């Protein structure tokens, strides 16, 4: 009997039949002979992307292999976390080329979800910086993939949600830095139009993101704090400490009610009197504001929550975003964390989420009303030719998925070609028809 | 630069301890059963700052090979600052109760192989006149319990043996460190339901590195196990018999 597992949203919950943690390549290969399986890292995808009946946990595949500190080329096993990488490479003047909003993800998971960061508009997704990776196929054979070798399988594996094989090890190109600090600018905007305009105005800024008050309505619809960042020039390179607070298991989820959230959002939006402020902040505060609050997902209670993230193409994106924000504001089911980001061009991976346009991510405490709301949002997103992020989704239907990700058929052909069908699967794959 | 020998280097606690030491730029000699795993750990330690890592694969239950292994170690590294002995298995208590052979096999790997290494290393360290021999015992050795006394008695033997060694070396700069972890989440204990008193291997590793640095004789890891075992040891037999843990 294995323990129950779930994604970061604690929904849906899955009861796997087996949960194995291979420690070597040989053991990993030998496990391929048995039942269909799925690699799982730190379980930070939100929905059911890392849920399945047979789990290959990569927690013991957590070794560094080599690091070229002159050129910033790191080689490590798939179970190494981004946090572990930073602790080693930052003191030597290197940083992750792309990082999501938490450092507690594995590098294998970062590739499988092809995660993006605040620099997507300039630097693309995580997999765009992968030089090569070793992947265990369903036959047990290991192939070294890159943009030039086994290109089709590389494109399918990056963003492929673990459905093409087990990523065993990765070679990644890092970026040089001179400081662990970020020069941050915060710009307060009164409405959606102004918010989106800031992204165009500051398109040269390395990092850009907006915190949006999705409970504001009327003239204030889409009011935001646009946050820009650049790596500082000098000073210390120390990676800094993790974790100070832990949310207890019994945290009362009623604390997060709509009145509290509305009040918080209003105060946060006006926390500075000036509309434009500049400061220097530690990189952890800038990139990983919630990593110091361990188990913050417990704040949403035992029923869990859904993080809904979609992207709309630029063409029509403003109208679509407006329609969705009105819908959310009307529903009153908002969240603390609503994050707006402008994406650059799509990288051509079959299932990678980012397409050029605007993306919004927000949390909903789970209840029946929210499930209905998300179905409605899915329809609007589809109507504006957008798509929902698989690493966060737990509710999308097969037909919505297949309309939003038109390259799913190419993806399946590559899976067929490399013997992945019937060997790798997940609860998400079954739900959206990638079987 | 420190020279460190780790026997049972693929054990989760040993590996975490090696990670801490690697940041000081040490030389390592790693001994374990699975060369592929050892080489993987070796690469990791080098990226984390280790200067040099040598791996050797050995069936540790073959006691006749121990002396040769140490010759190999001292050829590669002229002296040792630290030797950490950390290998072992968790016997299936039920199976052992029905099998003398199984019981003695488990005692051989968990206790006799330790005694063999300790005897050989004690001679080497005595000659050098300095260094630390750190040994994985367990709180399970403090009092035999029905659920794991085969494992516990092996650990009791190690603790008692180390206590004797500690006294033998009291006049020299050789330190004997007996490590007594409580419940630790490792691959060895993967089948157990974990509660709040379970610790991570990295927490135990920190205690070991600190114990070695400070020259401690016995460390409980985490420290609260000292008090738990103080209570368990003081329970009268009449009552202890009726306890079910």
CB spacing of B43 vs A63 below 8 angstroms? yes
A-chain residues near B43 (CB < 8 A): 63-66
Same-domain pairing of A125 and A162: yes
B-chain residues near A76 (CB < 8 A): 47
C-alpha B79: how far from chain center: 20
pLDDT per residue rounded down to tens, chain A (435 residues):
468 999 999 999 999 999 999 999 999 999 998 799 999 999 999 999 999 999 999 999 999 999 999 999 999 999 999 999 999 999 999 999 999 999 999 999 999 999 999 999 999 999 999 999 999 999 999 999 999 999 999 999 999 999 999 999 999 999 999 999 999 999 999 999 999 999 999 999 999 999 998 888 899 999 999 999 999 987 677 776 655 677 777 666 666 676 777 777 777 777 666 788 899 999 999 999 888 888 888 888 888 899 999 999 999 999 999 999 999 988 888 676 689 999 999 999 999 999 999 999 998 989 999 999 999 999 999 999 999 999 999 999 999 999 999 999 999 999 999 999 999 999 999 999 999
Per DSSP, which regions of A174-275 are E strands? 175-176, 181-189, 207-212, 224-231, 245-246
Residue A154 lies in a domain: yes
Count the Cβ atoms, other than its own, within 10 Å of residue A130: 24
* pLDDT at residue B194 in the model: 84
Assigned token pair, B63: 């006691």
CB proximity B10 to A under 8 Å: yes
Same-domain pairing of A84 and A218: no
Assigned token pair, B125: 């360290």
Residue A53 lies in a domain: no
Per-residue pLDDT of B47-63, as tens digits, reads 999 999 999 999 999 99
A-chain residues near B41 (CB < 8 A): 63
Task: Give ipTM to 2 decimals.
Answer: 0.92
CB spacing of A23 vs B10 below 8 angstroms? yes
Q: Where are the alpha helices (DSSP H) in A72-221?
A: 82-89, 107-112, 120-123, 151-157, 192-201
Q: What separation in angstroms does the CA of A255 have from each of A30, A248, A336, A367, B199? A: 48, 14, 12, 15, 31
Residue A337 lies in a domain: yes
* pLDDT at residue B195 in the model: 83
Rounded distance, CA A385 to CA A318, Å? 13
- The total number of structural domains in chain A stands at 2
Mean pLDDT taken over chain B:
96
**Element containing residue A429 per DSSP (H, E):** helix A427-432
Residue A428 lies in a domain: no
Structural domains in chain B?
3-240 (3.40.50.720)
**Element containing residue B7 per DSSP (H, E):** strand B3-7
CATH number of the domain encompassing residue A107: 3.30.465.10
C-alpha A430: how far from chain center: 21
Find which of A16, A22, A24 to mutate to test the B interface (most B CBs within 10 Å of its CB). A24
Mean pLDDT across B164-181: 97
CB proximity B47 to A under 8 Å: yes
A-chain residues near B190 (CB < 8 A): 21
A-chain residues near B37 (CB < 8 A): 23-24
CB A110 within 8 A of CB A44: no
**DSSP 8-state code for residue A241:** -
* pLDDT at residue B181 in the model: 97
Q: A309 pairs with which residues across the strands? A: A361
Count the Cβ atoms, other than its own, within 10 Å of residue B193: 7
Whether the upstream peptide bond of residue A12 has omega within 30° of 0, thus cis, is yes
Residue of chain A whose alpha carbon sits nearest to that of B36: A24
Same-domain pairing of A169 and A279: no
Side-chain-side CA neighbours of A180 within 13 Å: the count stands at 16
Whose CA is closest to B55, among B28, B25, B19?
B28
CB proximity A77 to B under 8 Å: yes
First to last CA, chain B: 45
CATH number of the domain encompassing residue A200: 3.30.70.2520
CB pairs < 8 Å spanning A and B: 33
CB proximity A23 to B under 8 Å: yes
Residue A235 lies in a domain: yes
Matching residue, tokens 């830095």? A177
Three-class SS of A352-409: CCCCCEEEEEEEEECCHHHHHHHHHHHHHHHHCCCEECCCCCCCCCHHHHHHHCCCHH
The last residue of one of the domains, among A177, A201, A226, is A177
Residue A325 lies in a domain: yes
The residues in B 187-206 lying below 8 A from A, measured between CB atoms, are 187, 190
CB A221 within 8 A of CB A244: no
Same-domain pairing of A207 and A158: no
A-chain residues near B16 (CB < 8 A): none
Same-domain pairing of A324 and A202: yes
% of chain B with per-residue pLDDT over 70:
100
Whose CA is closest to A176, among A118, A231, A121?
A231
* pLDDT at residue A337 in the model: 64
**DSSP 8-state code for residue A85:** H
Least CB-CB distance to B47: which of A23, A26, A88? A88
CB proximity B41 to A under 8 Å: yes
Q: Give the range of the structural domain holding residue A316, as residue numbers without chain letter.
A: 181-392
- The string over B31-43, giving b where at least 16 C-beta atoms fall within 10 Å of a residue's C-beta and e elsewhere, is bbeebebbbbbbb
CB A98 within 8 A of CB A128: yes
Same-domain pairing of A361 and A223: yes
Same-domain pairing of A91 and A231: no
Chain A nearest-CA distance from B34, in A, is 9
Chain B nearest-CA distance from A341, in A, is 35
CB A87 within 8 A of CB A239: yes
Whose CA is closest to A337, among A389, A374, A299, A281?
A299
The residues in B 106-145 lying below 8 A from A, measured between CB atoms, are none
Same-domain pairing of A191 and A99: no
Chain B nearest-CA distance from A7, in A, is 20
Chain A nearest-CA distance from B111, in A, is 26
Same-domain pairing of A131 and A194: no
The last residue of one of the domains, among A131, A159, A177, is A177
Find which of A19, A23, A80 to mutate to test the B interface (most B CBs within 10 Å of its CB). A23
Least CB-CB distance to A63: which of B34, B44, B187? B44
The last residue of one of the domains, among A134, A156, A177, is A177
Per-residue pLDDT of B82-93, as tens digits, reads 999 999 999 999
Residue of chain B whose alpha carbon sits nearest to that of A65: B43
Least CB-CB distance to B36: which of A24, A65, A66? A24
CB spacing of A24 vs B37 below 8 angstroms? yes
A-chain residues near B187 (CB < 8 A): 21, 23, 60
CB B144 within 8 A of CB B165: no
Residue A147 lies in a domain: yes
**DSSP 8-state code for residue B194:** P
Strands B27-32 and B52-57: parallel
Same-domain pairing of A223 and A353: yes
Residue of chain A whose alpha carbon sits nearest to that of B15: A63
Chain B nearest-CA distance from A11, in A, is 22
CB B173 within 8 A of CB B130: yes
Same-domain pairing of A96 and A118: yes
The yes-or-no verdict on residue B198 having pLDDT over 80 is: yes
Chain B nearest-CA distance from A80, in A, is 11
Q: A13 pairs with which residues across the strands? A: A6
Same-domain pairing of A260 and A187: yes
CB proximity A88 to B under 8 Å: yes
Q: A227 pairs with which residues across the strands? A: A186, A209
pTM above 0.90, yes or no: yes
Residue A8 lies in a domain: no
Q: What 3-state class would DSSP assign to B197?
A: coil
């Amino acid at each position: 009997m294995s323990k129950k597992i779930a994604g970061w949203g604690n929904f849906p919950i899955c009861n796997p039949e087996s949960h194995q943690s291979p420690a070597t390549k040989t053991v990993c290969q030998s496990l391929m002979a048995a039942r269909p399986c799925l690699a799982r890292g730190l379980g930070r995808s939100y929905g059911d992307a890392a849920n399945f009946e047979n789990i290959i946990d990569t927690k013991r595949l957590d070794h560094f292999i080599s690091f070229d500190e002159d050129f910033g080329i790191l080689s490590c096993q798939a179970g190494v976390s981004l946090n572990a990488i930073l602790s080693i490479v930052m003191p030597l003047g290197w940083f992750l080329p792309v990082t999501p909003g938490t450092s507690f993800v594995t590098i294998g998971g970062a590739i499988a979800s092809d995660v993006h960061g605040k620099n997507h508009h300039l630097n693309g997704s995580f997999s765009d910086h992968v030089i090569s990776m070793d992947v265990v196929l369903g036959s047990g054979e290991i192939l070294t993939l890159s943009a030039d070798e086994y290109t089709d399988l590389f494109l399918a594996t990056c963003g492929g949600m673990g459905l093409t094989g087990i990523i065993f090890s990765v070679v990644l190109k890092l970026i040089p830095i001179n400081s662990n600090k970020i020069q941050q600018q915060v710009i307060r905007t009164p409405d959606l139009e102004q918010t989106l305009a800031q992204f165009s105005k500051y398109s040269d800024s390395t990092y850009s993101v907006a915190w949006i008050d999705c409970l504001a309505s009327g003239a204030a619809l889409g009011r935001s704090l646009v946050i820009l960042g650049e790596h500082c020039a000098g000073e210390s390179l120390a990676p800094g400490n993790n974790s100070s607070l832990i949310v207890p298991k019994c945290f009362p989820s009623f604390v997060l009610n709509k009145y509290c959230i509305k009040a918080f959002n209003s105060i946060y939006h006006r926390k500075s009197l000036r509309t434009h402020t500049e400061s220097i902040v530690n990189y952890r505060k800038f990139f990983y504001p919630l990593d110091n609050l361990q188990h913050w997902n417990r704040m949403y209670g035992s029923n869990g929550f859904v993080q809904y993230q979609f992207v709309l193409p630029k063409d029509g994106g403003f109208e679509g975003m407006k329609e969705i924000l009105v819908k959310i504001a009307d529903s009153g089911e908002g969240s603390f964390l609503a994050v707006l980001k402008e994406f650059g061009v799509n990288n051509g991976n079959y299932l990678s989420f980012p397409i050029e346009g605007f993306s919004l991510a927000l949390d909903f405490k789970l209840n029946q009303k929210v499930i209905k709301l998300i179905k409605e949002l899915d329809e609007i997103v589809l109507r504006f030719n957008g798509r929902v992020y698989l690493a966060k989704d737990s509710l999308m239907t097969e037909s919505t998925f297949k309309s939003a990700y038109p390259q799913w058929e190419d993806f399946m052909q590559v899976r067929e070609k490399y013997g992945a069908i019937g060997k790798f699967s997940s609860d998400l794959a079954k739900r959206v028809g990638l079987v | 630069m420190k020279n460190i020998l780790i026997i049972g280097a693929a054990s989760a606690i040993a590996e975490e301890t090696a990670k801490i030491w690697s940041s000081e730029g040490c030389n390592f000699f790693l001994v374990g059963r699975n060369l592929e795993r050892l080489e993987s750990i070796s690469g990791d330690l080098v990226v984390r700052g280790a200067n040099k890592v040598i791996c050797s694969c050995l069936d540790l239950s073959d006691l006749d090979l121990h002396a040769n292994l140490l010759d190999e170690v001292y050829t590669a590294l002229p002296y040792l600052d630290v030797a950490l002995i950390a290998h072992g298995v968790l016997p299936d208590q039920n199976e052992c109760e029905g099998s003398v052979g199984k019981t003695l096999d488990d005692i051989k790997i968990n206790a006799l192989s330790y005694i063999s290494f300790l005897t050989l290393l004690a001679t080497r360290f005595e000659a050098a006149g300095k260094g630390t021999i750190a040994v994985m015992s367990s709180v399970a050795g403090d009092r035999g319990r029905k659920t794991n006394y085969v494992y516990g008695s092996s650990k009791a033997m190690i603790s008692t043996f180390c206590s004797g060694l500690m006294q033998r070396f009291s006049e020299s700069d050789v330190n004997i460190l007996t490590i007594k972890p409580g419940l630790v989440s490792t691959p060895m204990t993967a089948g157990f339901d974990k509660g709040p008193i379970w610790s991570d291997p990295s927490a135990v590793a920190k205690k070991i590195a600190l114990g070695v640095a400070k020259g401690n004789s016995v460390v409980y890891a985490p420290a609260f196990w000292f008090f738990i075992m103080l209570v368990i040891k003081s329970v009268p037999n009449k009552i202890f018999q009726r306890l079910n843990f």
